[in-house]
Structure 1
Amino acid sequence: MRGASGLPRLTELDIAQLYRNAADWPLPGKALLGGAVVCLLWVAGNTFYLSGAREQLRQLEAQEVALEQQVALKTVQVAGLESQASDLNTMQGRFTNLLRQLPAETEVPGLLEDIGRLSATNGLVLEAIDLLDDQPRTLYIESPMQIGVTGAFHDLAAFINGMAGMPRIITVHDLAFSHVDPSGLRLSLVAKTYRYNHQAGDDLEADLHPPSPALAEPVAYDFSSLRDPFQSPSRQMVRPAGRPAAGPDFARPRGVLESVALDQFEMVGTLSLGTQTFVLLRGASSVYRLAIGDYLGPDHGRITAIHDSHVELAELFPDGQGAWLERSQTLALNVNS
């Protein structure tokens, strides 16, 4: 009961009296009071004064990291700036030279002669060439023309390839194919040639910002192994693949083995007699001994090399256009023989 009765007396202590008697407190009490006051001041200062400054410090640290990244990026860019400026000057010079290579005046008469000669070389019929209106551009002038030619598909493709290989700059646009007969096509296209624009000559250097165009090297159009996509495979003549060669000697008497198809033979071994090597081939229920230079098969096949694992032949066959082609064939050793 004394604790309950003493609590009201404790709460009624005079705070001022405690403050006046603080000088008489023992040292641990003074230290405890001082620590409490310092903690109270630190909490109040941190809450009302340092919280805003700390948030601002975090923002500045994040900004510092971003600036360091930008500095690193700019350093890399500056390191390559000199070489980029040199490359830009080189490209501008190349572009200037390309523009100066364009003819100052129109060269349509010479171009028409070249197109007519190219179409005749590829066996085409040049139906019409219509000159269209010039199209002025910033640094050059386009001179388009509408061209119509008739012929086989691969000959038309060779004609387009030949136009790309002309010495003057020519671009081909708006290609359109149409049938004129079961074996022929009509090609309509727009060919553009270019010449230098004098009116833009004074401002040429100031306008040369784009990179120089890449000029492709002309490539020969080889259609020997390609088919015509505008004809069904059953109707078109397949152009055989092979090397041009002289025709066979029809006055030569043909041997018995030249009447048997090549796929009816199989290599069963080789035979050496002194310095000469023979190949042993089995066909038509018999084994034959052949040397280099002997003929085999219906396509004028002639043995060109004999190896332990295979034998090589060269066959001749017509290309369907009056010439002869040569192809290589190989018969491998049948290890189960």
Structure 2
Amino acid sequence: MANLKNLDLNAWFADFSSQFQDLNMKEPGQWPPAPKYLSFVVLALATVGLGWVAVLSDEQAVLDAEHDKEPRLKEDYGNKLTQAVNLPELRKQKSQVEEYVLQLEKQLPGKAEMDALLSDINQAGLGRGLQFELFRPGQVAMRDYYAEQPISIKVTGRYHDIGAFTADVSNLSRIVTLHDLNIAYPNQSSNQSTPPRTDANATLTMEAIARTYRYLDSSEVEEQKKAAAAAEKKK
């Protein structure tokens, strides 16, 4: 405490300042202690600052980017955890869907079975006593995994027989759908609005588009994929 009381700040500051006078910049090793220590501190701070700018700033950017990913990763983790907990149920549902798809595929005829299916549609009409005035298969439309076969039909018969025929078509073992149905008197224009009689002996004409579907074999699926890839390249 006595040394602190006897300390002359003015004299200390004058001595400190005098050490920075007449410094030879070419010979820093001969500088007094104060300039040496101060130069060391300044150089160390400059080195740290340059290191931060050159190296640590990039690492900080990477750290910030990883920190920003944290909420999304937590959300992904939560979703995957939920899926893991429900995995047995999801596998069961997947099995059910695959079984359902297999059942639907069985309702689609193959390429070799199309003629038999067309014959079944024709026989369904004849079996109900209907007269076919038109039975014309149209152009096959190729889809990704199946082909669609439209058939233009025109039949004449009694009202209830036509109704029974449409029911028979819907109950075929293969999928057949009827579209654009138009029922009228044989001599009635399709654009007339008079409704047909519905008594059992009424003779009517029904025009419709029957659509049936078949699955593609492996070679046809491969051709469809190649055609899709070629079309994609042209874009």
The TM-score bracket by the shorter chain reads 0.3 to 0.5
Query: Higher Cα Rg: structure 1 or 2?
Result: 1
Higher relative contact order (CA 8 A, sep 6+): 2
- Normalized per residue, the structure richer in strand is 1
TM-score between both structures, scaled by the size of structure 1: 0.35
Q: Higher helix proportion, which one?
A: 2
